[in-house]
Chains A and B, each alone.
Chain A
Amino acid sequence: MNMISLKNIKKDYSSGDLTTKVLHGISFDIQEGEFVAIMGPSGSGKSTLMNILGLLDTPTEGDYILDGKNVSSLSDDEQARIRAQKIGFVFQSFNLLPRTSVLRNVMMPFIYNKSEHLSTKEREERAKKALSAAGFPENRWHNLSSHLSGGQIQRVAIARALVNNPVLILADEPTGNLDSKTSDIVLKTFQELNRKEGRTIILITHEHDVAAYADRCIIIKDGVISEN
C-alpha cells in the first residue's frame, strides 16, 4: 500500500516580480514500512520537498496523497492536525525544550493531538515505551534535557517523534550535528525502528554514508529527481 504518493509536485517562491522555481515536478511513491533516504546537495530543493512532505508547506501545483488522503491544499489548522496525528519529526538541531525533563519532552506531542485523550499516566507509559524503542537509557528518563549528550538528545527527539504512533517519521539531517560514532548509533536506531516495528521513515541528508543506511535512495538535483 502506498503511504505517500507525490504527483507532479511543483513549488515556486515569489518575492515581488521575481519567481524562483524550486521544485519542477516531482513524483514518487513510498510504501508503508519503507526506509527511504532523500539525498541531494544543498540548494537542490530537498528541504522544500521535506517541508511539503511534512505538511509545513503547501505545493504550488501537484497532488500529495498521505495515508490515502489528498493533503496538498489544506488550511493551516488542518495541516497542524495531520502533523499532530500522522507525522513525527526529527530535526538536525534536536529542538528539545531546555530545562525540561526527558519524559516531558517526549510527552509534549500529546498536548496538541486532539484525537487521543490519554490520562497523564497513559501518556507517561507511552512516552516510556517510545524512549525504550529509541534506545534511550532508562536511568536518565527524569534528567533535564540540557544534561544529555548529543546522541542521547537525538534519541529523545526520536522518541518524541514516535510517541504519537505516526504513520510517517521525517528525519531532516538527523546526524548533521553529531560525530560519526553517535551518528552510527542514531542511524542504527532508525534502521531498527524500520525493521522491528515496520515504521515508514524518510531520511533527508546530503551525505552518502548516511543515505546508505536506508533501503532506497531518491536523489534530487535542481528540483527534479535524478535517481530513484
Chain B
Amino acid sequence: MKIQDLVQETNTALFANKSRTFLTVLGIVIGIASVIIMLAIGKGAQNEIQSSINSLGSNLLTVIPGTSRGGPSGTGTGGKPLTIADANAIRDKILLVDEVSPELTTRSQVVAGAQNINTTITGIVPEYQKIKSIDMEIGIFITEGQNRNFSKVAVLGPTVRDSLFGIDSNPVGQKVRINANTYTVIGVTKSKGGSGFSNPDDMIIIPLSTAAQYLSGGDSLSSISVTTVETEDLKQVEKEIEELLLERHAIRNRDPELADFSTFNMADLSEAAASVTGIFSLLLGSVAGISLLVGGIGIMNMMLTTVRERTREIGLRKAIGARSKDISNQFLLESVLITCIGGIFGIILGVGVAQLITLSGILTTSVSLFSIILALGVSAIIGIGFGYYPARRAAKLNPIEALRYE
C-alpha cells in the first residue's frame, strides 16, 4: 500500500463523518491545550516567585541574633547579641564577602506636623542601598559622613511619605520627630512593593550610628546582611561566617548546635521555593494530563465504533487483497491523524489562552518549547496507543465473516 493511497483513504474516512471526527478532535484539542496552559501557568508562577526572591538579592546572606535550631530563641536569652564589631569582623576577615550591612530595626511612633504614625525605623550604613538595591525617588540616600557624625537625617519609604506629608509630595527638608528627636528628611525611596518578609516602602531609614545612639541605646544589631560577589560563594561564606561568629561569641566547643545566632541565605530560600513551585506545576500538569487521557479514550471510542460500522468495508478490502497490515495501518493512521490535528490546534489554542492570561494581567505565563514538544509527543503516543487496539481488531477480522456482517 503506497503512502499517498493510505493518506487518501484515511482522509476520505475522516471526512465521511465530519461531526464525529470534529468532536473527537475537540477532545484532543482541549486536552493538549490544557496541558500547555497549565504548564505555562506553572512556569509563569515559578518565574514570578523566583524573580521576587531574586529582587531580594540572590547572593544575599542574613545573620540574625538568636537561634532557629529549637533552643532558646530571641536576643535576650543568654546569648551574646550581634554587634557592629561582629559586622566589621565579617567584612575584614572573610575574603569572599562583597558588602556587609549591619542593620538595627525598631518600631516607633513618628510625628510630622499633625500626622502621627507607627512604623519601622531601620538604622543602616550606606552599603545597605547597594545590598537591597534601593533606588531614590527624590533626594539622596544616607552617606558615610552622616553615619560617622550621628546625623539626625531620615530617608522615607514612599508609604511613610504618603501618610506623613501627602501622596507624591516632596518632603525633602521637612522635619519628622522620632522618639523625641527631630530628623531632617533628605530623600524618599522608590516604591519596591511588598516582597515577602517586610515592606520596604513602609519604613524610615536613618544612619546606624544615630539609631544605636538615640533609639536602642546600645550597639546590638537586629541583623547583618552580607553579599558575595558570586552566588556560588554563598555556602562557603555562610560557613566561614558561622565559624567566625562561633569563635567571637566564645561558644563552647564551637558547637553550631549551641550558636546564639542564625544564618540563612537566599539560595536556600530560592531552592525551597523552586521545589514548591515544581510540585505546583506537576499538580497542574497532571490535572491537564487527565483531560488528555479522556480525549484519548474518546479517540478509542470513535475508532471502535468506526471499526464496527465499517466491518463490511474491511471485509471487502481484505477480499480484494488488503493484508492485515494494510488494514491496521489505515486505522492507526486515522487515529494518529486525529491526535496530530488535535495536537496542532491544541497548541494554537493553548498558546493563545496563555497569551490572554498574560494580557489580562493575572499572571505572566510562560509557554516553554518543552511543553509544546511534550504535547505533540504525547498526542502522537495517544494516537498510536488508543488507536492500536481498534486497528488490531479491524485487522484481525475474518474477511468471510466481515463480508456477511449486518
Contact = CB atoms under 8 A, between A and B. Distances in A.
Interface of A: 51, 54, 56-57, 76-77, 80-81, 83-85, 88-89, 91, 93, 95, 97-100, 104, 108-113, 160
Q: Identify which of B5, B324, B399 gathers the most chain A CB atoms within 10 Å of its CB.
A: B399
B324 A83 contact: no
Given A83-B319, A91-B403, 13 more contacts: A57-B400, A80-B321, A83-B321, A84-B321, A88-B320, A93-B403, A95-B315, A95-B403, A104-B12, A108-B317, A111-B322, A112-B322, A113-B321
B312 A95 contact: yes
Contacts of B12: 97, 100, 104
Contacts of A91: 316, 319, 403
Interface footprint category on B: 20 to 34
A89 B320 contact: yes
Nearest to B317: A112
Nearest to A98: B16
Nearest to A157: B316
B323 to A, nearest CB: 4
Given A80-B318, A84-B321, A112 B403 contact: no
A81 B324 CA distance: 11
A85 B326 CA distance: 16
Contacts of A77: 323-325
Contact of B322 (A51, A56, A80, A85): A80
A225 to B, nearest CB: 22
15 contacts: A76-B324, A83-B321, A84-B320, A91-B319, A95-B312, A95-B315, A95-B316, A97-B316, A99-B16, A110-B5, A112-B1, A112-B317, A112-B323, A113-B321, A160-B320
B400 A112 contact: no
Contacts of B317: 108, 112
Contacts of A97: 12, 313, 316
Given A83-B321, A89-B319, A95 B313 contact: yes
A109 B403 contact: no
Nearest to B325: A77
A101 B251 CA distance: 94
A85 B315 contact: no
Contact of A111 (B1, B313, B318, B399): B1
Contacts of B326: 111-112
Contacts of B312: 93, 95
B168 interface: no
B230 interface: no
A56 B317 CA distance: 12
B321 A109 contact: yes
B233 interface: no
A84 B12 CA distance: 22
Given A51-B400, A91-B403, A99-B16, A80 B323 contact: yes
Nearest to A120: B4
Nearest to A161: B320
B324 A108 contact: no
A198 to B, nearest CB: 22
- The list of the 4 closest CB pairs from A to B, nearest first, reads A84-B321, A112-B321, A95-B316, A111-B5
A51 B319 CA distance: 10
Contacts of B316: 91, 95, 97
A196 B403 CA distance: 31
Contact of A54 (B2, B319, B324, B325): B319
B9 A111 contact: yes
A81 B403 CA distance: 18
Nearest to B320: A109
Interface in B316-358: 316-326
Given A56-B400, A91-B403, A76 B323 contact: yes
Nearest to B399: A56
A93 B313 CA distance: 11
Interface in B384-400: 399-400
Nearest to B310: A97
Interface string B293-324: 00000000000000000001101111111111
A97 B12 CA distance: 10
A13 B173 CA distance: 110
Nearest to B12: A100
A22 to B, nearest CB: 13
Q: Identify which of B315, B317, B324 gathers the most chain A CB atoms within 10 Å of its CB.
A: B317
Contacts of B399: 56
Contacts of A109: 320-321
Contacts of A88: 320
Contacts of B322: 80, 84, 111-112
Nearest to A100: B12
A98 B399 CA distance: 19
Contacts of A100: 12
A108 B6 CA distance: 11
Interface string B1-32: 11001000100100010000000000000000
B29 to A, nearest CB: 25
B27 to A, nearest CB: 24
A85 B5 CA distance: 17
B165 to A, nearest CB: 80
